[in-house]
Amino acid sequence: MPIYEYQCDSCGVHFERRQSFSDNSTPSCPNGHAAVHRIYSVPGVVFKGSGWYVNDSRKSGAKSNSD
């Protein structure tokens, strides 16, 4: 289950909640307030390097079908 970050609109507290994809409800603030919004951040996976997908998935010496 993914972990989502939220911030309270009333008191400004920043908190995290583990939620299933099927959950439709927005959580409430730990201090009892109801108005919260989700904070979006960059993903935890970064693909670096040159050609890791194209070059590493082929056998060496294989011809391409670009003719």
Say which residues have a Cβ less than 8 Å from residue 15's Cβ, sequence separation at least 6: 5, 6, 7, 8, 29, 30
Q: Answer whether residue 58 shows pLDDT above 70.
A: no
Taking the model in full, what pTM does it have?
Answer: 0.58
Q: Answer whether residue 35 shows pLDDT above 80.
A: yes
Task: Tell which wins on pLDDT, 65 or 18.
Answer: 18
pLDDT at 64: 58
Q: Answer whether residue 38 shows pLDDT above 60.
A: yes
Q: Is 3 helix (H, G, I), strand (E, B) or coil?
A: strand
* Alpha-carbon torsion (52, 57, 61, 67), positive or negative: negative
Q: Answer whether residue 66 shows pLDDT above 80.
A: no
